[in-house]
Structure formats: structure tokens, C-alpha cells
């Protein structure tokens, strides 16, 4: 006998309220990182929290979760909230004072988030990071696993820099960079940078009425040459549009598309995702013409391997190693060699083994076609970064073995930790287009040792 379907209980109705009709959705669920700047969280002058903005953000996160997405928040605002709690009129200049204010504000900021998310019975977690935490591979992986478990528990992680212990050497610098690092750690599909403008413009729209919006970016390096992004951040924040371009570059390298959007209307994130979904469902040759935000498109096939992305973006640079032309060709060309001591010319900075170093060389700039000087190069020289890597030797050891073959290391040091300075698995090349003929650092003395051909400022 046919039984009528049971009516939903009042309790079920309270848990799953009717949803309005939705615009096209992505074909799969996504991991989304949302970064909210200080100017979107509290007033720049009074430091009063912008409860309407935060409430809209929380409602947006709840809606995203209801559609099956995983969401991570990266939130600024601890200093602003701390200033209000302490009755201070302006942001202090001394580092220790800033750290103290941030310590006061961080607890109150999390209490505010917890109060808002609790209205929807959504649990949150505080995650405080410093670059120093990520410098050790084990700690980095532990942090990644923590994010993974929090998201599996349906928790919303709220990330901020641990200002109380950070210093200039281990700071991310701004939460734009931190949000990009976080996006890489959680393998995010989209990073939303919520700021005080609705998108990136060709110039400052506040001062130039002819500034035009930039909607889609496929090449960040080319964009930097075409637009003006010198405007600073807010009086409370530490970032500006420049830091957002850097963050977009970092996130794209991790395969994460990045969108700049207006922080006062976080609900636009839902509409932006709908535009993306509609384009994904369109014929393959359909151009992407979004109406909101600036979209930095990631190329999934160009996504960097996790370990190399960690080396390039998760580690602070502790020193610089200068390479000759032979070494540059060996590490950057097809055969992807490890870096050996014979190709090292000089070392700058004091660093230990297993720390990240920058690999550079010095080239002579080419003159124009009208110049017929030898090799077409003039006397102007410039420093060019080739890549970064984790050194097997300390700076003091590299100074002693530079220019020598691997077979001579034991005689020079009394021991051999590795046959190479940087193994190719710990080496990330960022510039493969250097003209080897233009490299200055390539001559040797009759005895076979390398000579510093130029003097670098500050060396």
C-alpha cells in the first residue's frame, strides 16, 4: 500500500531553510580562501568594528559552505581592534608596542568572529603562522595537515600572522602574502583578496578619472609594465595594490586563481563564482568577460610541485650565491643539473646548511641594434636572479670550496656532506632566459680558481 512521504519536522525546517533559486554552480566543490583587509574590518579613524561588513562576510561563508565549498579566512584587524580596546589614538611605531596591541586585539577579534559564526552553529579555529613556522619542512607539512583536518571537520580556519613573536626577518610582511601562502598550503582553487576597491585599475581611480578597470589577467609580469600600482595601503594595514599583485603571482604558481574584489560587499563572491561557473559551462572558445573583480587566471598545467613551491614561496631567503655562466647553463637548461661548487663565484650573507638561498648572476645589458661594439654589450651590469634553493653547506663552507671540483671538497673541509652545493630536487629555477654570453661571472685564472670580475654594492 502506498505510504505518503513524511512531512519534515519543525526541527528539520530550522536546520535546512528554503533556499532561493541559484545561478549556475561550478561542476565541483572548491576550496576557497578569502582574505579580508583591516580597512574592511574596522574604521580607520575610530577603530570601531564594521559589524555590517563582518556579518555579510559570515553569511557569505555560510552560503558557500551550504553549496559544498570549503572556506578558509585570512583576517587582518588585530591591531585595529586592539587600539580601540586600549583607547589608543594611533598605531604605534615601535615593534614591541605593535606586538602588544596585536596581542590584545587578536583575542577580541576571534571572539567577534566566534560570536557571529555561532549564530549559524559554525565552528571556527584560530591559526597563527609565521614564516619561521614554515621554514622547516616538517612544520610546514604539519600545518598543511592541520588545515586538512580542520576542513574535514567542517571547521572554518581563521588565519593571521602571529604578530606577538614575529620580527622583520620572519614576517610574511602583509596578509596578502600570507593569504597566498595559505592558498598554496590548502591547495585552494580560488583566492579572494577583499580590498577597498572593486577591482584593479590601470591607474588610481581616485586621482585619475580615465583609469580603466582590468578584468582578466593572464600574465602578472606583463601587467606590472602596463598599470600603475604605487598607491599605499590604509593607515592601519600594511599592504597596497603592489602586495596584491605579489600575492596573485604566488597563488597562481600554486595553481590557484586569484580575484581582487570589494571588501564592503563580500556577497559579491557568490556572484563572481556564478560568472565563473557560467563561463565553465559555455563552449570552449567563449571568451571570459567577467563584470566584477579582477581575475588572475591560474594555469593548472603549470602548477608548481608542492616541494618546489614551498622552497620558492614558503622559505625566507637567508643569503645569496653568485654563479658563473657555466653553472647558470647547467642548472637552467634542459639537463637540470644540481649546483656544484665549481660554478660558484661568491657568497653574500651568513647562513647555515639547509637554509634557503637566492641564486644570481651578473650580466651586461645589451645595447641597441645601432651599436656595433664587441658582442653587442655595453659596460652596464645588472643583477639577475636565476632561482632559489636549499643549500647543503653553510656560507662559510661554500666560501672555502667555491670554484673547486666535488672531489676536492674533503681535502678543503676535512669532510663531505654532499657532492653538490644544492641538489636539483631542492632547486627552483625562475629564470631560464638569461643570455649566457652576457654573463660577466665566467672567467678563471690560470690556476683554475674563479675571479670576482665585478664588485657588487654592499658586498
How buried is 238 (Cβ within 10 angstroms: 0-12 exposed, 13-18 middle, 19+ buried)?
Answer: buried
What mean pLDDT is reported for the chain?
82
Domains parsed from the chain with CATH numbers:
22-302 (3.40.1160.10), 316-438 (2.30.130.10)
* Between 450 and 69, residue with greater pLDDT: 69
Q: Quick one: CA torsion of 129, 131, 133, 135, rounded to 10 degrees?
A: 160
Q: Tens digit of pLDDT for each residue in 40-70?
A: 888 888 888 889 999 999 999 999 999 999 9
* Between 451 and 39, residue with greater pLDDT: 39
At 284, is the pLDDT very low, low, confident or very high (cuts 50, 70, 90)?
confident
- Dist. CA 255–CA 388, nearest whole Å: 20
How buried is 178 (Cβ within 10 angstroms: 0-12 exposed, 13-18 middle, 19+ buried)?
Answer: buried
- Give the mean model confidence (pLDDT) for residues 26-41: 84
At 117, is the pLDDT very low, low, confident or very high (cuts 50, 70, 90)?
very high
At 446, is the pLDDT very low, low, confident or very high (cuts 50, 70, 90)?
very low
Measured CA to CA in angstroms, residue 23 lies from 26, 58, 274, 294, 408 at distances of 10, 20, 6, 20, 67
- Dist. CA 322–CA 383, nearest whole Å: 10
Residue 349 has pLDDT above 50, yes or no: yes
The pLDDT value recorded for residue 234 is 46
- Dist. CA 212–CA 251, nearest whole Å: 24
Are 404 and 342 a contacting pair, CB within 8 Å?
yes
At 201, is the pLDDT very low, low, confident or very high (cuts 50, 70, 90)?
confident
Interstrand relation of 257-262 and 190-195 (parallel, antiparallel or unpaired): parallel
The pLDDT value recorded for residue 161 is 86
In terms of Cα–Cα distance, which of 33, 37, 24 is closest to 69?
A: 33
What percent of the chain has pLDDT above 90? 44
* Between 390 and 225, residue with greater pLDDT: 390
The pLDDT value recorded for residue 222 is 79
Residue 175 has pLDDT above 90, yes or no: no
The pLDDT value recorded for residue 18 is 42
Residue 443 has pLDDT above 50, yes or no: no
Q: Tens digit of pLDDT for each residue in 121-170?
A: 999 999 998 877 787 788 888 999 999 999 999 999 999 988 777 665 44
The C-alpha cell at 424 is 636539483
DSSP state string for 195-241: ESSSSEESS-TTT-TT--EE-EES-HHHHHHHS-------SS-S--H
Are 176 and 229 a contacting pair, CB within 8 Å?
no
The pLDDT value recorded for residue 34 is 97
Angle CA 406–412–418, to nearest 5: 40
Residue 239 has pLDDT above 50, yes or no: no
The pLDDT value recorded for residue 305 is 78
- Dist. CA 378–CA 372, nearest whole Å: 10
Are 298 and 251 a contacting pair, CB within 8 Å?
yes
Are 419 and 389 a contacting pair, CB within 8 Å?
no
Q: Tens digit of pLDDT for each residue in 305-322?
A: 788 888 888 888 899 999
Residue 388 has pLDDT above 80, yes or no: yes
- Dist. CA 378–CA 390, nearest whole Å: 34
At 3, is the pLDDT very low, low, confident or very high (cuts 50, 70, 90)?
low
Choose the weakest-confidence range: 257-261, 265-269, 330-334: 330-334
* Between 303 and 71, residue with greater pLDDT: 71
φ, ψ for residue 354 (rounded to 5)? Answer: 70, 20
The pLDDT value recorded for residue 246 is 84
The pLDDT value recorded for residue 232 is 47
Are 376 and 366 a contacting pair, CB within 8 Å?
yes
The pLDDT value recorded for residue 378 is 59
Measured CA to CA in angstroms, residue 53 lies from 84, 280, 419, 437 at distances of 18, 30, 57, 56
- Dist. CA 230–CA 228, nearest whole Å: 6
Measured CA to CA in angstroms, residue 19 lies from 6, 63, 316 at distances of 20, 10, 46
Alpha helices in 78-173 (DSSP H): 78-86, 95-118, 131-135, 137-152
The pLDDT value recorded for residue 68 is 93
Instruction: For the beta carbon of residue 439, count every other beta carbon within 10 angstroms.
Output: 21
Beta strands in 372-413 (DSSP E): 377-390
At 9, is the pLDDT very low, low, confident or very high (cuts 50, 70, 90)?
very low
The pLDDT value recorded for residue 445 is 45
Measured CA to CA in angstroms, residue 308 lies from 380, 395, 428, 450 at distances of 33, 22, 6, 30
The pLDDT value recorded for residue 14 is 41
Q: What share of the chain is helix, strand, coil (3-state, %, to 5)?
A: 35, 20, 45
Residue 110 has pLDDT above 60, yes or no: yes
- Give the mean model confidence (pLDDT) for residues 317-339: 88
Choose the weakest-confidence range: 31-40, 83-92, 127-136, 319-328: 127-136
Residue 270 has pLDDT above 80, yes or no: yes
What percent of the chain has pLDDT above 70? 81
Amino acid at each position: 500500500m502506498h505510504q505518503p512521504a513524511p512531512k519534515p519536522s519543525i526541527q528539520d525546517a530550522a536546520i535546512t531553510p528554503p533556499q532561493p533559486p541559484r545561478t549556475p554552480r561550478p561542476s565541483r566543490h572548491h576550496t576557497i580562501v578569502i582574505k579580508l583587509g583591516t580597512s574592511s574590518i574596522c574604521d580607520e579613524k575610530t577603530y570601531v568594528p564594521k559589524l555590517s561588513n563582518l556579518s555579510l562576510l559570515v553569511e557569505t561563508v555560510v552560503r558557500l559552505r551550504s553549496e559544498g565549498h570549503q572556506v578558509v579566512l585570512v583576517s587582518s584587524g588585530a591591531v585595529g581592534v586592539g587600539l580601540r580596546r586600549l583607547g589608543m589614538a594611533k598605531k604605534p611605531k615601535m615593534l614591541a608596542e605593535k606586538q602588544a596591541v596585536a596581542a590584545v586585539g587578536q583575542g577580541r577579534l576571534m571572539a567577534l568572529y566566534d560570536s557571529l559564526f555561532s549564530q549559524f552553529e559554525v565552528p571556527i579555529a584560530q591559526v597563527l603562522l609565521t614564516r619561521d613556522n614554515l621554514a622547516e619542512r616538517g612544520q610546514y607539512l604539519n600545518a598543511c595537515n592541520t588545515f586538512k583536518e580542520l576542513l574535514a571537520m567542517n571547521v572554518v580556519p581563521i588565519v593571521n600572522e602571529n604578530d606577538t613573536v614575529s620580527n622583520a626577518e620572519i614576517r610574511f610582511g602583509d596578509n596578502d602574502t600570507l593569504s597566498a601562502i595559505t592558498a598554496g598550503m590548502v591547495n585552494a582553487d580560488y583566492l579572494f583578496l577583499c580590498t577597498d576597491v572593486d577591482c584593479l585599475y590601470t591607474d588610481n581611480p581616485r586621482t585619475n578619472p580615465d583609469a580603466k578597470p582590468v578584468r582578466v589577467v593572464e600574465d602578472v609580469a606583463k601587467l606590472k609594465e602596463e598599470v600603475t600600482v604605487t598607491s599605499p595601503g590604509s593607515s592601519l594595514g600594511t599592504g597596497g595594490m603592489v602586495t596584491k599583485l605579489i600575492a596573485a603571482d604566488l597563488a597562481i604558481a600554486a595553481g590557484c586563481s586569484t580575484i581582487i574584489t570589494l571588501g564592503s560587499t563580500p556577497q559579491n563572491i557568490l556572484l563572481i563564482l556564478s560568472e565563473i561557473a557560467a563561463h565553465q559551462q559555455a563552449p570552449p572558445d567563449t571568451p571570459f568577460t567577467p563584470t566584477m573583480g579582477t581575475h588572475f587566471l591560474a594555469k593548472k598545467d603549470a602548477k608548481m610541485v608542492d616541494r618546489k613551491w614551498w622552497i620558492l614561496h614558503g622559505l625566507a631567503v637567508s643569503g645569496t650565491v653568485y654563479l658563473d655562466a657555466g653553472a647558470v647553463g647547467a642548472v637552467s637548461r634542459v639537463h637540470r643539473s644540481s649546483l656544484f661548487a665549481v660554478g660558484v663565484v661568491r657568497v653574500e650573507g651568513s647562513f647555515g646548511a639547509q637554509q634557503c638561498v637566492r641564486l644570481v648572476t651578473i650580466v651586461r645589458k645589451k645595447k641597441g641594434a645601432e651599436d656595433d661594439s664587441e658582442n653587442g654589450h655595453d659596460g652596464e651590469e645588472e643583477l639577475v636572479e636565476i632561482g632559489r634553493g636549499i643549500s647543503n653547506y653553510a656560507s662559510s663552507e661554500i666560501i672555502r670550496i667555491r670554484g673547486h671540483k666535488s672531489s676536492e671538497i674533503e681535502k678543503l673541509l676535512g669532510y663531505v656532506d654532499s657532492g653538490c652545493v644544492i641538489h636539483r630536487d631542492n632547486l627552483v629555477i625562475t629564470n631560464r632566459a638569461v643570455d649566457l654570453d652576457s654573463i660577466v661571472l665566467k672567467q678563471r685564472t690560470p690556476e683554475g680558481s674563479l675571479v670576482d670580475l665585478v664588485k657588487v654594492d654592499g658586498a
